[in-house]
Structure 1
Amino acid sequence: MIARLMVLAMAVFLVAFLVTPESFAGLFRPLTRNNAPAIYTQTGLLSLTLSHLWLVALAVTASTVTAVGLGVLVTRPAGREFLPLARTVTSVGQTFPPVAVLALAVPAMGFGAGPTLVALFLYGLLPIFENTLTALSTLPPSVVEAARGMGLTRRQQLWQVELPLALPVILAGVRLSTVISLATATIGSTVAARTLGEVIIAGLLSANTAFVVQGGLIVGLIAILIYEGFQLAEKAAARRIGLAPQH
């Protein structure tokens, strides 16, 4: 109960700060020097936050569709031989730092959101793929055999039995990918993407600690809220298949 109240308090504070950041100027003024502004106003914090979340949502959605699709493919009899290739592809984002991906993508795509989306997409593949692979490869054989005994086709078995059973583990991978992407997206501002990294970079360039703290605080609070939200979704999925106690 206490944990839920704390999460609720974080959510209320975050919304209040994004809607009326000027009201919190007194909180950040001790972090400024030489009468520098306490609140970043060059671009609205709410607008930057929504743009940041939109980029992350697009990238994670694309990563999820791709990684789950690859996980399903390599766990089918006809696709098992592609497992090494799939692992290589999904590991690319973890092999090359996002900054390197941005540097390679900018000449081809130009400045803006495009290179950031590519970097986040590649960076988010591996956790989702590995969790999907683990979940689908460790299903109880008795359940799979029962599905076959019921006369389900392979497609029906996948959609009605395998994926629902694997969903909690897959969601855990999506949770990890989302939190990583949320933090990593801040570097997108170095290539002119509209993210909360703009606030942090502005603070670093002007030696204004208040801006740096604001950008980091917003990203941190959103990460906690998203993490908790995914955990609730994982528990709900686990309860649905009887792997967690009903409340």
Structure 2
Amino acid sequence: NLLVLVGEHLALVLISSSITILVGIPLGIWVTRPSGKNFLPIVTDLTSFGQTFPPVAVLALAVPMFGFGLIPTVVALFLYGLLPVVRNTIAGLRAVSGNTIDAAYGIGMSRFQALVRVEIPLAARVIMAGVRISVIINIGTAMIGAVIGAGGLGSPIIAGLVQDNIAYIIEGAVPAAILAVLADQLLAGIEELFA
């Protein structure tokens, strides 16, 4: 039963984190380009708001629209994990020297080529740090999904709180903590590859 809960928890985290990465990195890139520069304040405000808004409140709003289970939990985790990815993508790209970008243009690269071959590789470590933070946040926050039937390691914690049973709470909390530590170490190793 514990393996099923871990699998459900990992599914919540992997789905929400994948969506966060697929939206957050392109969004961060776009607002650092001339075409999206004017939207930078709006994007940073909205992503900041997404993290300051409690995930439980997002669930309360998402359940009437999406029902119970996986989808509202993924929506809440996506909104909560978006800020670190967008913020670090922006920070990483802004840290790339203008002289380096000019040199890329000087050797005949287009804007897109300079972005893909120069800027993103130089910003990759900072971007990966944002992904790492986002995934760790989602591992902890995914516990709330159990409240609306999404399963995961929050289920035994809620059962333990309702039944006043510390063993159930430990059954959910310890594996979640181990998952967070393992994910942190794995993503830190990937981050080092970009050093």
Structure 2 length as normaliser, TM-score?
0.97
Give the 5 Å matches for 1:6-17. Answer: none
* Secondary structure of residue in 2 paired with 1:105: helix
Give the 5 Å matches for 1:143-222. Answer: 143-222=100-179
In 1, Cα distance between the equivalents of 2:20 and 2:50? 11
Give the 5 Å matches for 1:127-142. Answer: 127-142=84-99
Query: Contact (CA 8 Å) 1:67, 1:90: kept in 2 or not?
Result: no
> In the TM superposition, what is the alpha-carbon distance from 1:154 to its structure 2 partner?
1.0
In 1, Cα distance between the equivalents of 2:73 and 2:129? 23
Deviations along 1:70-91, one digit per CA (max 9) or x if unpaired, are 1111111121101111112212
Give the 5 Å matches for 1:1-247. Answer: 44-238=1-195
Deviations along 1:25-64, one digit per CA (max 9) or x if unpaired, are xxxxxxxxxxxxxxxxxxx110111111111111111111
Amino acid in structure 2 at the alignment position of 1:58: I
Of the structure 1 ranges 217-226 and 84-93, higher mean CA displacement relative to structure 2 is found in: 84-93
Amino acid in structure 2 at the alignment position of 1:208: N
> In the TM superposition, what is the alpha-carbon distance from 1:194 to its structure 2 partner?
1.4
> In the TM superposition, what is the alpha-carbon distance from 1:112 to its structure 2 partner?
0.6
In 1, Cα distance between the equivalents of 2:156 and 2:128? 31
Deviations along 1:133-177, one digit per CA (max 9) or x if unpaired, are 111011022221211111111111111111111110011001101
* Secondary structure of residue in 2 paired with 1:77: coil
In 2, Cα distance between the equivalents of 1:112 and 1:187? 11
* Percent of residue pairs bearing the same amino acid type: 47
Amino acid in structure 2 at the alignment position of 1:190: V
**Unaligned residue ranges in structure 2 (runs of 5+):** none
**Unaligned residue ranges in structure 1 (runs of 5+):** 1-43, 239-247
Structure 1 length as normaliser, TM-score?
0.77
Amino acid in structure 1 at the alignment position of 2:121: P
State the structure with more CA Rg. 1
How many residues align structurally? 195
Provide the aligned C-alpha RMSD in A: 0.9
In 2, Cα distance between the equivalents of 1:78 and 1:198? 45
